[in-house]
Amino acid sequence: MVLLTMIARVADGLPLAASMQEDEQSGRDLQHYQSQAKQLCRKLNAQSPNRCTLEAGVMSFHYVLEHGVCYLALCEAVFPKRLVFGYLEDLQTEFHEQHGKKVSTVSRPYSFIEFDTYIQKTKKTYIDSRARRNLGSINTELQDVQRIMVANIEEVLQRGEALSALDTKASNLSSLSKKYRSDAKYLNTRSTYAKIAAGAVFFITLIVYVRFWWI
């Protein structure tokens, strides 16, 4: 069962269209997955593998990248992969035909939200077991589905986090070293002043001594 479908622009992770989740019917709280999906869309870039499955506990994310657009679906882990990718390919073809040219120009999130109607219809044909038989032809084209890379969602999301953690640590380090530098400078000047002061006291005593007692 496909629980969540999202189409986003890869360049900046801007969501273009999505299918409403059916909270009540599936009885699951999808908020967590929803935010993971958003994060994922932001993480993906042109270097990411074109087709990939990401495991997230009992669920799996599947995505297809094509023409700078990411097509993402969330399903139960047991749901046949071949069907999901067939479904995503289907969406990709239709979306590219309808809106492909406008993708790079939009700035408002969910600009093509009306594509939802098509998503829902397609979803129904893939989920409905009776209609599924008619899809045999599509399935054969996707024989190589087994070779699609599998990774873990946490790893993918954390890869960025680890980098950003490293980044913050590095910047912390640099700011600390800057502080050290300024502190050291300050200490240096203070000790110089102390030396000068000591010398001055010595000389004044000397002069006073010479002035009053020497002569």
Residues that bind other proteins (CB under 8 A): 14-15, 17-25, 31, 34, 38, 107-110, 113-114, 116-117
Judged by CB, which is closer to other proteins: 29, or 141? 29
Minimum distance of other proteins from residue 4's CB (angstroms): 10
Judged by CB, which is closer to other proteins: 10, or 17? 17
Joined together, the tokens standing for residue 178 give: 């800057």
Of how many residues is the chain composed? 215
Residue 107 φ then ψ, to 5°? -130, -15
- Terminal Cα-to-Cα distance of the chain (whole angstroms): 109
Minimum distance of other proteins from residue 50's CB (angstroms): 24
Interhelix angle 31-43/153-209, rounded to 10 degrees, is 70
Judged by CB, which is closer to other proteins: 9, or 62? 9
Minimum distance of other proteins from residue 14's CB (angstroms): 7
Minimum distance of other proteins from residue 48's CB (angstroms): 20
Judged by CB, which is closer to other proteins: 108, or 147? 108
Residue 30 φ then ψ, to 5°? -95, 5
Judged by CB, which is closer to other proteins: 71, or 82? 71
Minimum distance of other proteins from residue 124's CB (angstroms): 8
Distance CA 52, CA 67 (A): 16
Sheet with 59-66, edge to edge strand ranges: 15-19, 2-9, 69-76, 59-66, 51-56, 149-152
User: 106, exposed or middle or buried, with CB in 10 Å at 0-12, 13-18, 19+?
Assistant: middle
